[in-house]
Amino acid sequence: MKSLNTLVKNFVIKFVTKIQSVTEINYLHTLDFKTRISNIEKIHEPVNITFSDSSKLKSFFQHSFSARYKIRLENAVVDPTNMCVFGIDKKDKLHLIKESTEWTFNRSLSISNSVTMETLEKDINISFPRDSYYHQIIEFLPRIINLKNANENLFVIHKDNRILNNGLIDFLNLPTITLKNPVKVKSVSLISTGSDLGYLHPSDLFLMKELMRSKNLVPNPHKMLYVSRRHSRRSDLDENMLETELIKNGFEIVFAENLSFLQQLNLFKDAKLVVGLHGAGLTNTIWTNKAQLIELMPDYRVNRCFEWIANLNQSNYSQILFSKKDIDMKTIFNQIFSSIQYK
């Protein structure tokens, strides 16, 4: 691949974050913007998904997805840290394009008050943000598959992105360019987003399962997995004790952060039972075939994103809530085994 220095030239834009604003695709056709739409194509119709048990009101679970579009913009700015796309107005001020991110405006800003940008005279696609495994796989992987299927333009990767080290780029065979700073591009393709943070689209699950089935994967004999967070600062349990008991009962202990993407995919695709603390490692339940999921959840930060995935996967889901202030490991262990349906 050519050196980045042969592809770019300096391009300086100075702006103040306080006056930076959000705009929408709808406004880019106005005379106020240098950024223009060159193509827009609907790829998903709006859809409402509901999971509920009429006898249990508290089990009601639904989300409405807006229509999704594949959009190509000319003369825009891309931030490789979070893959947000910015429109450029006639005064060279930047405006975050709302449809390029599911995150809030403040969370999406990583560009400093004044920055020297480079101009890349290339057609590019957005790629993986410098973010957690969950967000990279659930939010960005389906968009990248859609874009890759449409064309072979360059995908942008931040130079410090951990995704470079886990083999996913090689697995996808993506043509990439590695950048550190925001870059002004000739054109960029993106898949529009809605207010879907934490909700995997059913079409996205289908895309990822198709990707998995297209690869020659090795059968895995381990059917019962415990996804450990023992090495994480966010672990709220005495997992040493729990893991010892689970190993005695036939579980394999998984440290997902130590595995490549392909190793994680291989390990989870044949699993029949997955147990684990709420955390990014449970993202891999998307690769299972109706495996039961037992999620251990601290009561101070309940999140239903993996319950949603389990429902889409037609998997049995159980949640074991515990209080960090009053943890009884024996009770948690007994709750796990009373919830197990796989024999």
Distances (CA, A) of 200 to 122, 214, 242: 31, 21, 30
Which secondary-structure segment (H or E) carries 273?
A: strand 273-277
For residues 182 and 77, is the Cβ–Cβ distance under 8 A?
A: yes
Name which of 101, 82, 260 is nearest 194 in CA terms.
Answer: 101
Helix ranges, 79-197 (H)? 133-135, 141-150, 168-172
Name residues whose C-beta falls within 8 Å of residue 250's C-beta, 6 or more positions apart in sequence.
224
- Name the β-bridge partners of 320: 296
pLDDT at 54: 53
**pLDDT tens readout for residues 201-253:** 999 999 999 999 888 888 887 799 999 998 877 677 888 889 999 999 999 99
**pLDDT tens readout for residues 302-320:** 899 999 999 999 999 999 9
Listed as ranges, residues in the chain with pLDDT below 70 are 1-20, 53-58, 104-116, 234, 343
